[in-house]
């Protein structure tokens, strides 16, 4: 069984050595442990540092493309190399490499397709009250939408089985944490949570410049993914709200008309007509979007089959996989 630990990097030449040194290269039940660094257009020689440290595989972007793209490329490349289990960790040495055996155990045992490391953020001293509050309620929202029991939705310390790695799609350039959990839950993949330890922070987060920016991007991601998979629910809800508003305003005009005051409320009649038409149009858009979503699911299945073929070719090139 082959394990590949992937590490997305952006200007991590200073912290990468400690991260690499912390990752165990021999794990019980695993035949091969390989390291994969995805260099997201770094300008500090991160890729060269990775090679000098003996990293098995390095993928380099010529310019920055975003954490979400780097993560997705890492999964695809690991699958092409014949990986059975893929662990994703951060390059700033936030997560303890010694916890990798516990992280992958549910996947290796066949109990889970995806395992998310729980940092126990309520006990992290460098997390402010605001971050703890947002983390707690943000994770609650992700659990509600995805139907999972994840306790740390923004944790980047994760283990993916081969099937999960093939089925998870990342469309956002910003990040992958929330999007992949939503997709895994919607796809019916089995998800477990394992408590993991963390090291002292080495630098501030580079993922976002401010809390408001992170909130905005996270909400956008949640809404987009939910709409992508359940367009009929979203558009029908919006359409019905508009239609109900039109009916209410139209009823108000009828009341005034019966009282002989209709001429003074023509604006209500116009607004009611606009809302009724808009409601119908949005509902029809939902029907079209639902058809497109079903076609997209078929295309995703085709993509999974292609990845399975690519994986088999990678396994054939490496008889020990």
Over residues 139-189, the pLDDT tens digits come to: 888 888 888 888 888 888 999 998 889 888 888 777 788 888 888 888 889
Q: Which residues contact 155 (CB under 8 A, 6 or more apart)?
A: 116, 117, 118, 119, 177, 196
Top pLDDT among 282 and 263 is at: 282
Q: Which residues contact 224 (CB under 8 A, 6 or more apart)?
A: 171, 172
3-state secondary structure of 256: helix
For range 46-67, the mean pLDDT: 92
The answer to whether the beta carbons of residues 84 and 3 sit under 8 Å apart is: yes
The answer to whether the beta carbons of residues 96 and 134 sit under 8 Å apart is: no
3-state secondary structure of 260: coil
For range 113-140, the mean pLDDT: 78
Residue 121 and residue 157: Cα distance in Å, rounded?
A: 13
The answer to whether the beta carbons of residues 196 and 96 sit under 8 Å apart is: yes
pLDDT band at 215 (very low <50, low <70, confident <90, very high): confident
Give me the phi and psi of 6, to 5 degrees please. Answer: -100, 145
3-state secondary structure of 154: coil
Residue 82 and residue 310: Cα distance in Å, rounded?
A: 8
Residue 81 and residue 276: Cα distance in Å, rounded?
A: 55
- Mean pLDDT lowest for which of 26-40, 119-133, 137-151, 155-169? 119-133
pLDDT at 47 over 70: yes
The answer to whether the beta carbons of residues 61 and 70 sit under 8 Å apart is: yes
Radius of gyration of the chain (CA): 24
Q: CA 68, 73, 79 angle in degrees (round to 5)?
A: 130
Q: What is the mean pLDDT of the chain?
A: 86
Give me the phi and psi of 33, to 5 degrees please. Answer: -120, 120
Task: Give pLDDT, residue 141.
Answer: 81
Task: Give pLDDT, residue 321.
Answer: 46
Task: Give pLDDT, residue 266.
Answer: 82
Phi-psi map region of 110: left, alpha, beta (phi>0 left; psi -120 to 50 alpha): left
For range 264-292, the mean pLDDT: 91
pLDDT at 211 over 80: no
Task: Give pLDDT, residue 203.
Answer: 65
For range 239-252, the mean pLDDT: 93
Q: For the chain, which residues make up each domain, given as ranges? A: 2-219, 231-299
Task: Give pLDDT, residue 318.
Answer: 57
Q: CA 255, 260, 264 angle in degrees (round to 5)?
A: 85
The answer to whether the beta carbons of residues 158 and 118 sit under 8 Å apart is: no
Task: Give pLDDT, residue 229.
Answer: 83
3-state secondary structure of 67: helix
Residue 194 and residue 245: Cα distance in Å, rounded?
A: 47
pLDDT band at 210 (very low <50, low <70, confident <90, very high): low
The β-bridge partners of 116 are 158, 193
User: Which CATH superfamily is 2-219 part of?
Assistant: Spore Coat Polysaccharide Biosynthesis Protein SpsA; Chain A (3.90.550.10)
């Amino acid at each position: 069984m082959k394990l590949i630990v992937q590490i997305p990097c952006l200007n991590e030449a200073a912290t990468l050595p400690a991260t690499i040194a912390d990752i165990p290269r021999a794990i019980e039940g695993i035949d091969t442990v390989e390291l994969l660094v995805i260099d997201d257009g770094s300008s500090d020689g991160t890729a060269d540092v990775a090679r000098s440290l003996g990293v098995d595989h390095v993928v380099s972007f010529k310019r920055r493309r975003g954490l979400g793209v780097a993560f997705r490329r890492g999964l695809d490349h690991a699958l092409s190399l014949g990986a059975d289990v893929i662990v994703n960790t951060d390059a700033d040495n936030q997560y303890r490499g010694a916890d990798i055996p516990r992280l992958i155990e549910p996947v290796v045992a066949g109990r889970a397709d995806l395992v998310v490391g729980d940092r126990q953020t309520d006990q992290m001293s460098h997390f402010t009250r605001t971050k703890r509050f947002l983390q707690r309620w943000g994770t609650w929202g992700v659990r509600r939408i995805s139907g999972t029991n994840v306790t740390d939705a923004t944790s980047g310390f994760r283990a993916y089985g081969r099937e999960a790695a093939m089925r998870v799609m990342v469309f956002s350039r910003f990040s992958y944490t929330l999007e992949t959990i939503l997709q895994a839950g919607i796809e019916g993949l089995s998800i477990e949570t394992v408590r993991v330890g963390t090291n002292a922070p080495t630098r501030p987060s580079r993922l976002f410049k401010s809390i408001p920016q992170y909130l905005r991007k996270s909400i956008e991601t949640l809404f987009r993914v939910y709409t992508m998979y359940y367009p009929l629910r979203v558009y029908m809800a919006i359409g019905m709200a508009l239609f109900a508003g039109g009916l209410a305003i139209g009823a108000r005009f009828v009341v005034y008309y019966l009282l002989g005051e209709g001429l003074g409320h023509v604006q209500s009649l116009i607004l009611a007509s606009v809302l009724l038409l808009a409601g119908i149009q949005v509902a029809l858009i939902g029907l079209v979007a639902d058809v497109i979503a079903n076609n997209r699911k078929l295309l995703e299945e085709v993509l999974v089959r292609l990845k399975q073929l690519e994986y088999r070719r990678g396994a054939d090139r490496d008889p020990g996989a």
